[in-house]
Structure 1
Amino acid sequence: RFSPASLCVHDKYLYVADRSSKGLGILVFNEQCEIIDWFRNSLLKEVLAMDIDPDINKLYILTTAQDENNKRKRPLIASMDLCHSS
């Protein structure tokens, strides 16, 4: 079941965080609202925000990680290169 969260747009693609029962992932939609790509990463426990730097073609994801003794969450920024360009 699709459970959308944060989203951002780059060129003609929509990136949507999906909190489905299969785990957290990022779905990529084209102009016809078809899923054309997706990814999951075990580091992603939640997506607080996403943004794209079009100059270097990277998606940045603000998430959280547990500290070493699992007592506090700390912010974590994950990034991925975008393979979809105009």
Structure 2
Amino acid sequence: MAIAKWNGVVLAESESVKEIEGNLYFPPESVNKEYLRESDTRSTCPWKGLAHYFDIVVNGEDNNDAAWSYPEPKEAAKEITGHFAFWKGVEVIP
């Protein structure tokens, strides 16, 4: 069971994560979206497409752009459509 935690709160928990380029991508239904706030940040990966970033907000603290997702990835990354990955101090336990 993979788990993503930050500031004492479980952000995501799943047995069906996908690992790509060293990052674990959690299925959308496994993510506690009440802790996510979409930011204006975007980045483009040549083979995955356009990533949308999210701030994590827990107990009044913000972790800006600490999660991302590919809502409409390119064909090569279709398996992670809508999945979420984490960084910037988020503890991800495989």
Normalization by structure 2: what TM-score?
0.30
* Structure with the larger helix share: 2
Larger CA Rg, structure 1 vs 2: 1
Larger RCO of the pair (alpha carbons < 8 Å, separation 6+): 2
Please report the TM-score for the alignment, with normalisation by the length of structure 1. 0.32
